[in-house]
A and B are shown apart, each in its own frame.
Chain A
Amino acid sequence: MDISKDILLEIYDRMVTTRFFSERINEFFIKGIMHGTTHLSVGEEASGVASCMALDKGDYTTSTHRGHSHAIGRGMEVIKIMAELFGKVTGCSKGKGGSMHLADFDKGHLGSNGVVGGGFAIATGAALTQKMKDTGKIVLCFFGDGASNEGSFHESLNMASVWKLPVIFFCENNLYGVSTPVSKSMNIKDVAVRAKSYGIPSYIIDGNDAVEVYKTTREAAKYCRSGQGPVIIEAKTYRYLGHSKSDECEYRCAEEVNRWKKKDPIIIFKNYLIENNIANQIEIKRIEDKALKEIDLAVEFAKNSPNPPLNALTEDVYA
């Protein structure tokens, strides 16, 4: 499978945008200038972004509490995401959702979710629509390793498999659910093993390799589109920062973090682009500069945007 230069560079662009975005948000929380909480994807940019980039226009995504990479991966406007985290009326959810509630229905992004496991059944239902209306579109459902221990995971996979619904259940396995390692929350090493009990195919991939993530997702999407039912992809990855704001990470050792930092998804992908003569240092630098500038502008935009008016308080409860 050849991937066009345009797509590869767009993946790189959205990955570094996610990285810079997350680092900036982390700063804001450390300085205490941001209200609420956040879950950052630093270290997980390849799995979150390259998978979204493998979708076609009109396909859908459901995301998790750790959803900035998915929002950016789906091409949501960074200014609107930033403004949302600042709680401003110009945000994608008019300032009412915050970090865990980013959505863009026009782009097929059905939203991140504050409830772990909240996306499984939503994705299943969205896939049911595609099947009933014969749209040829599919749904990509992100979830964490920890989320696969929710009952909704098992109920949704069973339903999607027996009805042969076009949904990719995409696990970003970062080895922990908050402080709890996979080894203490399930009796298996790989979440993908669970596919067996639903009679569906699964892949286990290096989630820090953007090319592998992209190719596998394309292949799985093709399978789903052909009407054969759901697929699990398990992407092994790692988060560098704490679970959310104020996490001392006492449950894991610095050595483990450093080991993963040596497999940084952005550096791996950058090297791939250069070694394969897809982009040179200057082009790479240009993408990075552009991404940084975009974040700066987004921060400016968000800071200068107004709060929602007080009468917005009771708006939008009902349609």
Chain B
Amino acid sequence: MEQLIKEKIKQVKKGDQAAYSDIVGFYQNKIYQHCYRMLGNAHEAEDMAQEAFIRAYVNIDSFDDRRKFSTWLYRIATNLSIDRIRKRKPDYFLDAEVKGTDGLDMYSQISTEDRSPVEEVENLELKRYIHNEISQLPPKYRSIIILRYLEEFSLQEISDILDIPLGTVKTRIHRGREALRKRLRHV
């Protein structure tokens, strides 16, 4: 797959814009999901995920072919999401909660397997709770926890994506795990 993506990037660099739509199609779910988990709502997630793909396209010439494209893309998406969180007005969350549609939105998009309706409800409650607890973490910790446990990157890959030393990734993941342990202990 990585090889096919490399070919597509070569074409994009030569000016073939259509080749880029294959790249977006291939990564759209991963990047959208990552932004959703970082930001906690569908509206901002769509904005930032789109922006990530646009920035990657505009700066494609500065992408080094020897590296993994996905690493670069995740870095752009993470930085944009953190930036967005920092720029939020303090009353942002209140607004989102009053409107109250985001949560439902999210679950209508989740792909579910067959379960009994009761189990389903309990599960949704729990998952919503977990999502909410993750989104309470400061962005620096949140990004690492999401990349490690929800998206299953290795610590080394996380260090590459965020461009921070492996030691720092480890310190932050320890703290993130401790913070979540306290929050999820009574679940």
Whether A associates with B in a native complex is: no
